[in-house]
Chain A
Amino acid sequence: MEPIRVSVLCTREEYLRFCARASFSLPQTAAGAVLLTLGGCGAAFGAISETAVVLLWMLGAALLLWEPLLLPFYRKGEAARRYDESRRLQEAVRLTFTEDSVTVDSRATRGTLPLSLVTQTVRTNEMLSLTFGRELTLLLPLRSLDDTQLAAITAALAK
């Protein structure tokens, strides 16, 4: 694989969209569904008071809707604050990908990191994020890569 050199700078809008992407949590959704069902059963059989039914439904609906609908708004606000405060997010980073490593060169961080140390990869329509534990997160807007480069990086990450 030929080294792929890119200079990336994530814009504020891209960062906000990436952080506010919708997510899904199975345990939370299941808990919400159970509470809604319990409320429904309580209402159908008259086993619990109307107030308790309403409380169960409200709690169930909150659990169901929190992650896909409400959390993105919270995350967006938090991401906006973080982006505005963090100079590091607003600086361009030069990245050089090889078959098994990525070289990072920015004002604050320099080094060559093995791709085997990537603990989390997230890909959305416009962003690829590589996380190295709690130590470093690289955000790579896909607009800065062509299809061949993206395929090569994805293949290197999959190894």
Chain B
Amino acid sequence: MLAPKAFVQTIDENAYVRARLQAAAHTGALRFRVPVAVLSAALLIGAGLCVYQHMNSGGYLLTAIGEVAVAAILLLIWFWLLPQRERARASADFAVYDRLMNGGETAFSADEFTVTTPLLTREDSYANIRVCLETADSFLSVSDDGVLYIWQKSAFGDEAQTTVFLRDVFARKYRRCGRF
């Protein structure tokens, strides 16, 4: 398959933060949210059953309130506090992204790609990409050393051809593809 044309893109803060959250949900700090929530629920039910005797002796309300409070705290941590922390980090990192990567030209070739910006030139092989996620408006690639590449579909010179090329590279050739 022929490599698509190089393209230049500029990403705003909202798109960057959204991409960081999506990447974190797949490969970063937020990927264990659902399993941990399920495990916590199981532990709480187990704890409730363990204090069953105590509940029978009149401590039902206390136990119920305690369990609901712990569940609420855990839900707050996993579904609000951690995403908020990731969002704050992403906002802080955007200044660096803006200086280093924004306005850069991305050129895809058969087995690697190059990102050239005024300050930095990066060459990466598709084999170094741990996972590539396709969202409605972009491709998010996370490399082995944690670098996040955001490729907005609207910036592609030929959107259909580039999309097909990236799907082909990551889904068929390297089998490292995810979808939101």
Contact surface of A with B, Cβ cutoff 8 Å = 48-49, 51-52, 55, 82, 85-89, 104, 107-114, 117, 119, 132-137
Q: Do residues B50 and A52 form an inter-chain contact, with CB atoms below 8 A?
A: yes
Contact A111 B119, CB 8 Å, known A52-B51, A117-B99: yes
Q: Do residues B50 and A49 form an inter-chain contact, with CB atoms below 8 A?
A: yes
Q: Do residues A87 and B54 form an inter-chain contact, with CB atoms below 8 A?
A: no
Output the least CB separation between B37 and chain A (Å).
Answer: 16
Taking a contact as CB atoms closer than 8 A, the residue among B47, B117, B119, B122 that contacts A108 in the complex is: B122
Contact A88 B144, CB 8 Å, known A108-B122, A119-B92, A119-B96: yes
Taking a contact as CB atoms closer than 8 A, the residue among A55, A112, A137 that contacts B47 in the complex is: A55
Taking a contact as CB atoms closer than 8 A, the residue among A86, A108, A114, A134 that contacts B123 in the complex is: A108
Q: Do residues B100 and A133 form an inter-chain contact, with CB atoms below 8 A?
A: yes
Q: Do residues A49 and B122 form an inter-chain contact, with CB atoms below 8 A?
A: no
Q: Do residues B51 and A48 form an inter-chain contact, with CB atoms below 8 A?
A: yes
CA distance A154 to B94 in the complex (A): 25
Which 4 A-B residue pairs are closest in the complex by CB-CB distance? A133-B96, A111-B120, A133-B93, A51-B50
Taking a contact as CB atoms closer than 8 A, the residue among B51, B93, B119 that contacts A119 in the complex is: B93
Q: Do residues A88 and B145 form an inter-chain contact, with CB atoms below 8 A?
A: yes
Task: Write the chain B residue with the least CB distance to A88.
Answer: B145
Q: Do residues A48 and B147 form an inter-chain contact, with CB atoms below 8 A?
A: no
Task: Write the chain B residue with the least CB distance to A49.
Answer: B54
Interface size class, chain B: 20 to 34
Q: Do residues B144 and A113 form an inter-chain contact, with CB atoms below 8 A?
A: no
Using Cβ atoms and an 8 Å threshold, which residues of chain A touch B145? 82, 86, 88-89, 137
CA distance A151 to B64 in the complex (A): 58
Using Cβ atoms and an 8 Å threshold, which residues of chain A touch B119? 111-114
Q: Do residues B147 and A134 form an inter-chain contact, with CB atoms below 8 A?
A: yes
CA distance A55 to B54 in the complex (A): 14
Q: Do residues A135 and B96 form an inter-chain contact, with CB atoms below 8 A?
A: yes
Q: Tell whether B84 is near chain A: CB-to-CB under 8 Å.
A: no
Q: Do residues B93 and A134 form an inter-chain contact, with CB atoms below 8 A?
A: yes
Task: Write the chain A residue with the least CB distance to B144.
Answer: A86
Q: Tell whether B14 is near chain A: CB-to-CB under 8 Å.
A: no
Fill in one digit per residue for B108-147: 1 if any A CB lies within 8 Å of its CB, else 0. Answer: 0000000001011111100010000000000000001111
Using Cβ atoms and an 8 Å threshold, which residues of chain A touch B71? none
Using Cβ atoms and an 8 Å threshold, which residues of chain B touch A135? 96-97, 100-101, 120, 147
Using Cβ atoms and an 8 Å threshold, which residues of chain A touch B121? 109-111
Task: Write the chain A residue with the least CB distance to B122.
Answer: A109
Using Cβ atoms and an 8 Å threshold, which residues of chain A touch B124? 108
Q: Do residues B50 and A88 form an inter-chain contact, with CB atoms below 8 A?
A: no
Taking a contact as CB atoms closer than 8 A, the residue among A86, A89, A110, A136 that contacts B100 in the complex is: A136
Using Cβ atoms and an 8 Å threshold, which residues of chain A touch B122? 108-109
Q: Tell whether B148 is near chain A: CB-to-CB under 8 Å.
A: yes
Contact A132 B100, CB 8 Å, known A86-B128, A110-B120: yes
CA distance A110 to B117 in the complex (A): 10
CA distance A51 to B100 in the complex (A): 55
